[in-house]
Structure 1
């Protein structure tokens, strides 16, 4: 099975690395910026909506506390993690972080994300595709193993008391 040659698959783009990285950074910039705007909407009264129910989630509460404590660098650094950047950008909007602080942090984080996914991120996808072509069963086992490790890490993180719970 070959990966589809489609416009949305950056591995199929016939473009130099800087162009691919810049395109991915722009995608991240737009997505995170919209998430920030949703956070501002929730802060402006959207808490009475279904979207506002997200404010009660533990991940959102932790993100708000970190953004409050550290500020804009949390926004930039959230882009080098998996699954954290949405909550951090939402929290930045909810806290109404000034745009003059948020936009530079967003630009740095988006650039990091674009470079990471244009290089290392897609190497993993290419390796999985190669494994699928050579040994489909091995590829499935690798994927299941990866998902099991991620589930273990998440469950371990949720059962450990955080430093925020102690205060």
Structure 2
């Protein structure tokens, strides 16, 4: 992929805004859900029960443990990991970290995430896709992955409808 000369800062800014909005949304949703779900309800079924279970689950506990162990430093560091970013940002909302502090420590993480994804991240992604899809077996594997993902989503939806 070739970008026009000088477009790097613009692309970085777009990625920064995207991750900023995503992280803020994760924080505020987790904070609002925690306030409402844990403080004002005692669900026995449905979506609210699933929210309670997630807030009490392993992933949420890991995010909370990271925030407790590393404090506010866990927030920007989570942007450099795979799988921890959403959990830590949600954990900050769950423990009701002050919004000004959360935003302040989130900004360097957003900047680092945007830098990684607009430089080596996108390059690595395109290299992996290019290498994998340049052979017949790579195309077959890609088709199998897409079909398996579609089947998995269909099965999860069916199970959710049966249990609801």
TM-score norm. by structure 2 comes to: 0.71
Alignment correspondent of 2:55:
55
Q: Hey, what's the Cα distance between the residues in 2 that align with 1:38 and 1:28? A: 15
Say which of 27, 30, 35 aligns to 1:39: 30
Distance 1:130 1:104, change over 3 A: same
Structure 2 portions without partners, runs of 5+: 42-47, 145-164
Residues 128 and 139 in structure 1, CA contact (< 8 A), matched pair in contact too: no
**Rg comparison, structure with higher value:** 2
Q: Distance in 2 between matches of 1:58 and 1:106?
A: 23
Distance 1:63 1:138 in 2: 36
Q: Deviations over 1:15-51 (max 9, x none)?
A: 6222111211110110010000011112212234233
Tell me the number of residue pairs that the alignment of Structure 1 and Structure 2 aligns.
Answer: 133
Specify which structure has the higher proportion of helix. Answer: 2
Residue 123 of structure 2 corresponds to which residue in structure 1? 123
Within a 5 Å distance, the mapping from 1:12-161 to structure 2 comes to 14=4, 16-47=7-38, 48=41, 49=48, 50-132=50-132, 134-138=134-138
Deviations 1:95-145 (A, max 9, x none): 110122111111111111000011111112211232245324257669x9x
CA distance in 2, matches of 1:106, 1:35: 12
Change (3 A) 1:132 1:92: same
Residues 61, 132 of structure 1: alpha-carbon distance in 2 compared, 3 angstrom cutoff: closer
Cα distance in structure 2, aligned partners of 1:87 and 1:54: 11
* Residues 139/100 of structure 1: CA separation in 2 closer, same or farther (3 Å cut): same
- Alpha carbon RMSD of aligned pairs, Å? 2.4
How has the CA–CA distance of structure 1 residues 87 and 63 changed in structure 2, closer, same or farther, with 3 Å as cutoff? Answer: same
SS in 1 for 2:11: helix
